Amino acid sequence: MELKKLKNSTATTMAGLLIGLSATAAVAQDTPSWCGPNEASIAFLDGFGGNSWRQITTASAQEEAEKCPSVTDYFYADGQGDTQKAISDINSMAARGVNAIVVYGDAGPAILPALTNAYKNGAVVVPYRVDVGGEEGVNYSKYIGGDVESDGRDWGTFIKEQFPDGANIDFLSGPAGNSFGLALLDGLKQVLGDDERYVFLNPEPYHVTNWDPAQTQQVLTAEVAKHGADIDIILSDFGASLIGGLAAFGNSGLSIPAIATQDANILGCFWHDNQENNPDFKLLTTASGNDHGRLAVQWAVAMATGGTPPESDSYAGGVMENSVTGEPSAVQCRPDLPGDIYLNAEMAPEKQAEVIGQ
């Protein structure tokens, strides 16, 4: 299996793609409490939609919106990693009169003025996952964060268990300054503390990869050339992107080191295929969080339709796989399905395969 970067299409490059909702899906089940009686249109905006994780997360959000018969229209736009386009997408949805806008704000506070404008013009605005600054009730309706630091603490616990005498750590994250990577690092340091035996080989605060598999491969190849066997463990908040770069260890006659990351089918299957010949290859994964967008959609729909908001306003993932203890699960692999799916997600694995066109 190989990780494939999504190709741009007319659908994902439009300022706002209207996606038809399945009316039968909404009426065929009990209407959830967060779905109120008032009709509303919803927009789901990505700052960057160019990988399988984003595609499945977007489809999961749409699947959630389909549970509510009051949602009349569902729009999607991909900012393509371009801050100005992401801002334009927000402004476009606000001008169109979309009732609720859910935003994965990759660009962080740079998009706050656009969010504030949409909010002050009457839209329900719900940024999620990445901190965009500002305040609820002033700049937007609700921010749906996650207990990302908890994942960092889980990584730190794994490191201390496997390397009680210290370790050389290489941490890879997404865009420069993204709040998700910084929160992981905060959680990690809560466990490792100031123990000088745990050394970060990466530049502060992490290697920038923009969550791009090709860029991740470049970073890992360079790190193997620079540090080689001195790398004890790799940390990454996008596990699926690591596969291409891990070949650099074998090419240098080295075992793949331990890895703590977020789950992906391609990574689990890669571990099963390679762990026998790589004795140092221990793996811990936390849930990759495709369903974070579902919670954000629930809040947006509730506020736009007059429903009851969810009890939680924070997404919780947690440890999924541990190759050493097998708790809460051994490393999973579905070799009959594409690598670019996420077995922790609520969406059925077979449907995820359809979403990514494999």
Local structure of 248: helix, strand or coil: helix
Give the pLDDT score at 5.
Answer: 33
> How would you classify the pairing of strands 233-236 and 198-200?
unpaired
pLDDT value of position 317: 86
Give 240 or 295, the one with higher predicted confidence. 295
What is the assigned CATH class of domain 148-286? alpha beta
First to last CA, the chain: 11
The residue that leads in pLDDT, 309 or 180, is: 309
CA angle 50, 53, 58 (to 5 degrees): 80
The predicted structure's pLDDT at residue 268: 98
Looking at residue 16, its pLDDT comes to 55
**What pLDDT does 12 receive?**
39
Q: Is the pLDDT of residue 14 over 60?
A: no
Q: Which two tokens stand for residue 31?
A: 């209407």
Those residues whose C-beta lies under 8 Å from the C-beta of residue 270, and which sit 6 or more positions away, are 243, 246, 339
Residue 25: its pLDDT value, please?
Answer: 45
Label residue 202 by pLDDT band (50, 70, 90): very high
Q: What is the pLDDT of residue 17?
A: 64
Question: What pLDDT sits at residue 328?
Answer: 96
CATH fold of 10-147+289-316 reads: Rossmann fold (3.40.50)
For residue 34, what pLDDT is reported? Answer: 98
Amino acid 50: pLDDT: 85
- What's this model's pTM, rounded to 2 decimal places? 0.84
As a whole number of angstroms, the distance between CA 311 and CA 171 comes to 34
Q: Is the pLDDT of residue 91 over 70?
A: yes
| DSSP output for 157-215 | HHHHHH-TT-EEEEEEESSTT-HHHHHHHHHHHHHHTT-TTEEE-SSSS-EE-TT-HHH
Model pLDDT, residue 6? 31
pLDDT of 331 strictly over 50: yes
Tell me, what's the pLDDT at 19?
63
Indicate the average pLDDT of the chain. 92
Percent residues over pLDDT 90 in the chain: 84
Answer whether residue 11 shows pLDDT above 70.
Answer: no
Distance CA 148, CA 20 (A): 33
| pLDDT of 10 above 60 | no
The confidence score (pLDDT) of residue 29 equals 61
Pick from 84, 65, 66, 61: nearest CA to 15: 84
Question: Which of 12-21, 65-74, 136-145 shows the lowest mean pLDDT across its residues?
Answer: 12-21
Separation between Cα atoms, residue 329 and residue 318, nearest integer Å: 12
- Report pLDDT for 9: 32
pLDDT digits (tens, 9 = 90+) for 229-288: 999 999 999 999 999 999 999 999 999 999 999 999 999 999 999 999 999 999 999 999
pLDDT tens-digit series, residues 140-199: 999 999 989 999 999 999 999 999 999 999 999 998 988 889 999 999 999 999 999 999
pLDDT value of position 26: 46
Query: Per-residue confidence at 349, pLDDT binned at 50, 70, 90?
Result: very high
- Backbone dihedral angles phi then psi of residue 163, each to the nearest 5 degrees: -135, 65
Domain(s) of CATH 3.40.50.2300: residues in the chain: 10-147+289-316, 148-286
* Distance separating alpha carbons of residues 38 and 322, to the nearest angstrom: 45
- What pLDDT does residue 21 have? 58
Distances (CA, A) of 217 to 90, 265, 281: 32, 18, 18
Q: What is the pLDDT of residue 2?
A: 31
The tokens describing 84, both together, are 């100005």
At residue 4, the pLDDT reads: 34
Q: How many percent of the chain have pLDDT more than 70?
A: 92
Distance of CA 307 to the CA centre of its chain: 27
